[in-house]
Structure 1
Amino acid sequence: MAASIARGCQAAKGLGPSFRSARALLPVSTSVASRVLAGPGRRQITGPSEPGVFQPPPKPVIVDKRGPQRRESRFLSPEFIPPRGRTNPLKFQIERKDMLERRKILHIPEFYVGSILRVTTADPYANGKTSQFLGICIQRSGKGLGATFILRNTIEGQGVEICFELYNPRIQEIQVVKLEKRLDDSLLYLRDALPEYSTFDMNMKPVAQEPSREVPINQLKVKMKPKPWSKRWERPKFNVKGIRFDLCLTEEQMKEAQKWSQPWLEFDMMREYDTSKIEAAIWNEIEASKSS
């Protein structure tokens, strides 16, 4: 019995090397090979050609079609609206027809008081027969063909203002260098402000702006020169918001200016000028002129 057990143990010892050699000849699985190559401190290496690799789906793009579409804003130049109190609109209707014909030749862009413009005009006495002027728009006035706008710039320490007629046939180009608004509808007080607020480079490059974006409002408040000023800008009738009065006037002077206030005018309904119907009729004229 003992002899048979001893022969069995010797046979098992003889089969051990043969099993180890056969195992070395077998192909190693990809999972084991990847673990061996990666090591304990590296990530597992898997190529895109492997059949079992997970491919994440593409990120979905969700478009909300329920929301309202952005409407294209329409800008009606203020000179198209006739002044209040005119009972015979024939004159302004004829002028609007001429204005629309002029706009087919000259592109008049959208601009406001506070925008920086460059205007090119025909000048028979200048080099190249044209002259340019760049400045900030400080006022828009006039109705119909008599509409005007004033540009101001400081050149060599001297304030220069030019009043252009909007529909002047000498104007060759009106370029908006920077489109923006200010806190006030009139910037005539820049004449009494420090010159740095009306100084611009004549070679200033245009500032790009998205058409669908709203026109930005510049919240800048200017510092004034010492008195006397051209007008009493601190009085309530001017309703100026773009001046730092706290730096140039005392409390007593501000209280004295408030004595001229007329707070009841804010609630006077007869002073309101409803132009909604007039604007709708003018837009119909503009659309008809485009189709003709």
Structure 2
Amino acid sequence: MLTCLLSPVSQTLRRTCTQSTRNISLTFNLAQLEKPSEQQKETEPEEKNSLSRRDYRYIFPEFLPDPKPEWRNHIREKLERRDMLNRREQIEIPEFYVGSNLAVTVADENSPHPNKLSRFVGICIDRGGCGLRAWFILRNVVEGQGVEFMYQMYNPTLVKIEVLRLERRLDEELYYLRDAPPEYSTVPFNLEPEILPDGAPVPVNNIVVPLNDRPWGQKWERYTEIMKGYSLQNPYPTPGKVRRQMRWMAEGNQGWNMQTLKYDMMREYRNTVPVEQQDVIWEEVGDKLEVRDKQMRRVAAKRAFIRPSKKM
């Protein structure tokens, strides 16, 4: 467990561009499946399965390798995927997204608990990494103090990851919660798990968080066109702030260039793994992931089941 201070700029731009292009390709695939021919009707179950497998890149993003060729090693990636599947057989690593409320239990020799276990509850503000280096960050406000923990998802000291509330947010990272009122980051430690009906889509929380007045940890007024989950009451309080923002958005500067990054298809191609390689990976690990996911859903449903009590 380590505290983490990361800049949201590069990850936000990359994920915004990646998500827009992936949504376009997914819409195109769905349009092709709307009017199947006779040959397509015969292979309809396989195509549906292939389409759901491609959705795995959002559910299990750590199984996709780094897109940079100089960081690729196919033998290491194959061995890591095998280790990740073996690790998932030992602990519960359910589906979750940025914005979900999680409870993480780790083995801690300094814990006062008799079993030397430590449990932390919080909201996931970011996740990243690939392979065995996958990580995620939880944030909570404890006694008026913001607390954040970074967890390595496949660390041997990790005992259990429990999803208390499964949902998504408008942005792919929530670092602006550090500059928001405490109630937007507070998660009760006794929060009961909420089990979604089987087959229900993941709910999207459209809340827009109002940020506190300055000072901020980041210059959030520069990213209002990219990030939609927060609002600013007075972004330019002084003439100097206005002039600096005008220079930031001037033609040729970084703020001006950021408005056109989402249309850069070559940048998108360099920052993503080709769909053909993704299909090969999901063919390798998809069956085991699907079986394990069903097992965890059954166990979660049994835990949430409350036997009715007899009325006296």
Q: Tell me the TM-score normalized by structure 2.
A: 0.65
Which protein has the bigger helix share? Answer: 2
**What's 2:105 paired with?**
120
Q: CA RMSD in A?
A: 2.6
Q: Is the 8 A contact 1:138 1:187 kept in 2?
A: yes
Amino acid at match of 1:179: L
Query: 1:277 aligned to 2:276?
Result: yes
Q: How far apart are the structure 1 equivalents of 2:158 and 2:146?
A: 22
Which residue number in structure 2 is paired with residue 266 of structure 1? 262
Q: CA deviation at 1:233?
A: 1.8
Per the alignment, in what secondary structure is the counterpart of residue 261 of structure 1? helix
- Larger RCO, structure (CA 8 Å, separation 6 or more): 2
- Displacement of 1:274 after TM fit? 4.8
Give, in whole Å, the separation in 2 of the partners of 1:169 and 1:238.
40
Letter of the structure 1 residue corresponding to residue 104 of structure 2: V
Question: Counterparts of 1:288 and 1:222 in 2: how far apart (Å)?
Answer: 39
Cα distance between partner residues in 1 of 2:286 and 2:195:
28
Match of 2:307? none
- Could you say which residue in structure 1 is the equivalent of 2:65? 82
Match of 2:191 in 1: 204
Alignment check: 8 A CA contact 2:65 2:77 kept = yes
Question: How many positions carry a matched residue from both structures?
Answer: 223
Matched residues in 1 for 2:287 and 2:164: separation? 31
Is 1:149 the equivalent of 2:144? no
SS at 2:161's partner residue?
Answer: strand
What per-residue deviation string (whole Å, max 9, x for no partner) do you get for residues 64-90 of structure 1?
A: xxxx99x68553411111111225322
> Which structure 1 residue ranges, 4+ long, deviate > 6 Å from structure 2?
none
Secondary structure at the counterpart of residue 92 of structure 1: helix
**Per-residue displacement from partner, 1:71-124 (whole Å, max 9, x unpaired)?**
685534111111112253222222111111111111210000000000111122
Measure, in 2, the Cα distance between the counterparts of 1:150 and 1:188: 10
Matched-pair contact (CA < 8 Å) for 2:64–2:130: yes
Q: Secondary structure at the match of 2:209?
A: coil
Matched, 1:232 2:219: yes
Contact 1:109 1:175 in 2 (8 A): yes
Structure 2: which 5+ runs fail to align? 1-43, 292-312
- Helix, strand or coil: the match of 1:95? helix
Q: Distance in 1 between matches of 2:230 and 2:65?
A: 31
Instruction: Please list every run of 5 or more consecutive structure 1 residues that lacks an aligned counterpart in the other structure.
Output: 1-67
Mapped to 2, the partners of 1:215 and 1:289 lie a distance apart of 22
- Determine if contact 1:224/1:248 at 8 Å carries over to the other structure: no
Question: Mean Cα displacement is larger for which, 109-118 or 85-94?
Answer: 85-94
Give the structure-1-normalised TM-score: 0.69
Which one-letter code corresponds to 2:97 in the other structure?
Y
Whether 1:163 and 2:157 are equivalent positions in the alignment is no
Counterpart AA for 1:140: R
Structure-2 separation of matches of 1:199 and 1:275? 39
Please say if 1:174 is aligned against 2:161: yes
